Structure 1
Amino acid sequence: MRYGFTTGSCAAAAAKAAAYMLITGKIKNEIEIETPKGIRYHAEITDIRRSETAVSCAVIKDGGDDPDITTGAHIVAEVSRIDGGIQQKEPSVHRQKSTMDGSMQQKGQSAHLQRIVIDGGYGVGRVTKPGLDQPVGNAAINHVPREMIEKEVREVCALTDETADLLVEISVPEGETLAAQTFNPRLGITGGISILGTSGIVEPMSSRALLETIRVELNQKRAMGYSIVAVSPGNYGLDYMKRTYGYDLDKSVKCSNFIGDTIDMAVENGFEAMLLTGHIGKLIKVAGGIMNTHSQEGDCRMELITSSALSAGADADTARQILSCVTTEEAVNVLKKAGLCEKTMELIMQKIMFYLNKRAAGKIAVACILYSNEHGGLGESAGAAELLARLKEEKR
């Protein structure tokens, strides 16, 4: 499968090309940069706009074979010289001594500290909550893309003997619309997408991006002072929490299939407790010790329900009916008709909690709420109600 390049790589390539055109006055239709992964990125430059004081150009994001919503977006960089009147927040300013004239330094004259100021324009989000890669108020351009942009721009400056302070503004015309399809609104990043990437490349179907998103959400909740975290595999679980318990969705973390990894990260962040709420179709796998609930990792849902049903007193015919079910909702209906749902769910919850506690290893308290779309609540572990009450009170 074909890999792609991150928004950070696109921003760095566009910034390098814009800086070259501003300083030399020459057109640049393609540019090459080196990603942190060590892979060279040969980018085509488009949408070139030049004036006496600034140059802007774009690189069109190519996510490769990864289903990336930012593929096709125009990552625009505008580079201009700073005349001394522009005031910027210090986290966005990068200073470096000019290496142009060593003889001046030997004579005791102070070397010029060249500034590369990096900021976000239209379509690039702005951070409004703590706990993220950038401080509140900064453009949502993460530190690795900032380092990449600075490195490539300084390379051009070194080649052309440019010592003027430069402003690099990254914008994404489609960014505001695309942001609605990302986690940014939940994270308190307003006005656009984030400029991201740690390796500079996008690996097809990589789970790394999802895990990093979960980690970011957990980091943010902890930075905001929460000691307990509410977790659910997906939107249905979050909606169930909101609908049934009136719990604010923005305080929850969506863990996708990565239940075990989320427990590990919650421990790393120092949370005291975690409340997991999930649909029977996902969490039944945890009852079998499966901590990544993706279907590619294993699917023994009906077998696990059947084993608990048999322990609850189900006969052979009921067991066969459950094993022939396609969905867990169907299986719950079979249990309801047999009058075995409550007892079976008690046994399933015991197994779920055994494996959750095994993964937590005594480092964090864990509780669980299990539900069905058709029948609502199916069970709660010991301590779930108490954790839910504490969650509602915390950071009100």
Structure 2
Amino acid sequence: MVYEIGRTKSGLRMGFTTGSCAAAAAKAATYMLLSGETIQQVKLMTPKGIELYLDVEKIRRTEKFAECAIRKYSGDDPDVTNGLLVFARVKKERQTTDTAFYEGNLSLEGGVGVGRITHPGLEQKVGQAAINQIPRKMIFDAVQEICLQKKYQGELSVEISIPEGVDAAKKTFNPRLGIRGGISVLGTSGIVEPMSEKALTDTIYLEMKMIRSSGYERCYIVPGNYGMDFLTEQLELDAELTVKCSNYVGEAIEDARLLGMKGILLIGHVGKWVKLAAGVMNTHSRQADCRMEVLAVHAAMQGADRESVCRIMQCLNTTEALKIIRQLGILEPVMASVMDRIDFYLSGRAGGEFEIGAIMFSNEDGILGKTPNAEQLLERIQNERKQK
């Protein structure tokens, strides 16, 4: 099935996320369970504000449950999940397991093909299904909408399963993240917006050019939504002076040079920014993944013993590695050492033509480190904004 949801500026077809599939399937199954009627299509409002009308497949209804599926559509995004069926089974009971998610009288679990968290450091607890926060909210909201419509106040359990997700997960980075047995239910906006590499890098240039054309000579650079949220919510900085660079840090630095910027401040999560300490300027995991190597080396430089260095090298994510470093009591000097190296590579890439600095954060610790000139550069950007 091909949906015409919308197109990007470059003409690529949009799709919808596994989170939207799960929420729509849960909504349809809840409606059929509570109404006793069969429906062939379900309406879902996504967090992005785009309304979807999705075909309902594989319908099963019994006295105890209703089940159906929504087929994932990725548009022109090359995604291994494209075409997979995302099932939801809804029952008039509430889960009582330690691994389920709960909201009021509703419970949510993952079934076959939905990955399980096996290592700490992700937003879910070990043992829970890899259903991310926004998709969980979408699912609960969609089910609650039908409960209110049908004036149902009893308990309901929702199980999301993706049978083909077991095999699809082998083509993803889930095993390296400590997610076993299936794929993740993802999505922050509910919509997949595909972009070619050229379209992405062109967008970085255009966003920075708009800021420069507005009379500003300095701006912030963030990799994506996490960086933007930290910038606006934690640092309370101005999103209008921010460019999203995705994984293309090197291209963003080059664009700053071409546009005659006088300064850029990079603000990002440790999971991406720590790679800059190895001189990696494309932070996508397909290009390079040196996170543990960087942290292990800098921990060793600050006195970590061999056993601890080996434990860091075995970590699957930066949260896990930072926990070990924190337990050793060397987090602050390690981060200072990492930031010095980041400063070395960023300054080298900028070639002395403009100011460049970085702030690195984690969800657990907040700001982990800053390059030596970050505070000064931050102040200059803020002053420039006040003068406009």
TM-score (norm: length of structure 2): 0.51
- Does the C-alpha gap of structure 1 residues 273 and 182 become closer, same or farther in structure 2, counting only changes over 3 Å? farther
Partners of 1:281 and 1:7 lie apart in 2 by: 29
Shift of 1:245: 2.1
Instruction: Say if 2:222 is the partner of 1:232.
Output: yes
Shift of 1:260: 0.6
Match of 2:152 in 1: none
1:385 maps to a residue whose letter is: E
Contact 2:204–2:252, Cα closer than 8 Å, also in 1: yes
SS of 2:278 mapped into structure 1: coil
Partners of 1:315 and 1:236 lie apart in 2 by: 33
Match of 2:77 in 1: 66
User: Which digits, 9 at most, give the CA deviation of each residue in 1:36-93, with x for residues without a partner?
Assistant: xxxxxxxxxxxxxxxxxxxxxxxxxx9974369xxxxxxxxxxxxxxxxxxxxxxxxx
Which sections of structure 1, spanning at least 5 residues, go unmatched? 11-61, 69-178, 184-203
- Does the C-alpha gap of structure 1 residues 9 and 281 become closer, same or farther in structure 2, counting only changes over 3 Å? closer
Match of 2:260 in 1: 270
1:352 maps to a residue whose letter is: I
Contact 1:6–1:63, Cα closer than 8 Å, also in 2: no
Which sections of structure 2, spanning at least 5 residues, go unmatched? 1-6, 13-72, 80-188
- In structure 2, which of residues 266, 280, 286 is the aligned counterpart of residue 290 of structure 1? 280
Match of 1:49 in 2: none
1:252 maps to a residue whose letter is: T
1:390 maps to a residue whose letter is: R
2:383 maps to a residue whose letter is: E
User: Which digits, 9 at most, give the CA deviation of each residue in 1:350-381, with x for residues without a partner?
Assistant: 11111111111111110111111111111111
Partners of 2:237 and 2:9 lie apart in 1 by: 34
Alignment length, in residue pairs? 212
SS of 1:304 mapped into structure 2: helix
- In structure 2, which of residues 340, 343, 346 is the aligned counterpart of residue 353 of structure 1? 343
Instruction: Say if 2:213 is the partner of 1:223.
Output: yes
Shift of 1:182: 9.6
Partners of 1:299 and 1:255 lie apart in 2 by: 18
Matching of residues 142-157 of structure 1 within 5 Å: none
Partners of 1:315 and 1:9 lie apart in 2 by: 54
Shift of 1:321: 1.5
User: Which digits, 9 at most, give the CA deviation of each residue in 1:332-366, with x for residues without a partner?
Assistant: 11111100111111111111111111111111110
Shift of 1:329: 1.0
Partners of 2:316 and 2:9 lie apart in 1 by: 41
SS of 2:344 mapped into structure 1: helix
Contact 2:221–2:266, Cα closer than 8 Å, also in 1: yes
> Which 4+ runs in 1 deviate beyond 3 A?
5-10, 62-68, 179-183
SS of 1:350 mapped into structure 2: helix
Partners of 2:321 and 2:348 lie apart in 1 by: 27
- In structure 1, which of residues 322, 327, 344 is the aligned counterpart of residue 312 of structure 2? 322
Contact 1:239–1:249, Cα closer than 8 Å, also in 2: no
Shift of 1:393: 2.2
Partners of 1:8 and 1:385 lie apart in 2 by: 37
Report which of the two structures shows the higher radius of gyration computed on alpha carbons.
1
- Does the C-alpha gap of structure 1 residues 363 and 317 become closer, same or farther in structure 2, counting only changes over 3 Å? same
User: Which digits, 9 at most, give the CA deviation of each residue in 1:260-286, with x for residues without a partner?
Assistant: 110000110110011011111101111
1:209 maps to a residue whose letter is: A
Shift of 1:206: 2.5
- Does the C-alpha gap of structure 1 residues 270 and 331 become closer, same or farther in structure 2, counting only changes over 3 Å? same
Matching of residues 1-396 of structure 1 within 5 Å: 65-66=76-77, 206-396=196-386
- Does the C-alpha gap of structure 1 residues 252 and 319 become closer, same or farther in structure 2, counting only changes over 3 Å? same
Partners of 2:336 and 2:281 lie apart in 1 by: 20
Contact 1:225–1:395, Cα closer than 8 Å, also in 2: no
- Does the C-alpha gap of structure 1 residues 324 and 67 become closer, same or farther in structure 2, counting only changes over 3 Å? closer
Partners of 1:298 and 1:343 lie apart in 2 by: 25
How many percent of aligned residue pairs carry the same amino acid? Answer: 40
SS of 1:394 mapped into structure 2: helix
Q: Aligned Cα RMSD in Å?
A: 2.8
SS of 1:287 mapped into structure 2: helix
1:239 maps to a residue whose letter is: D
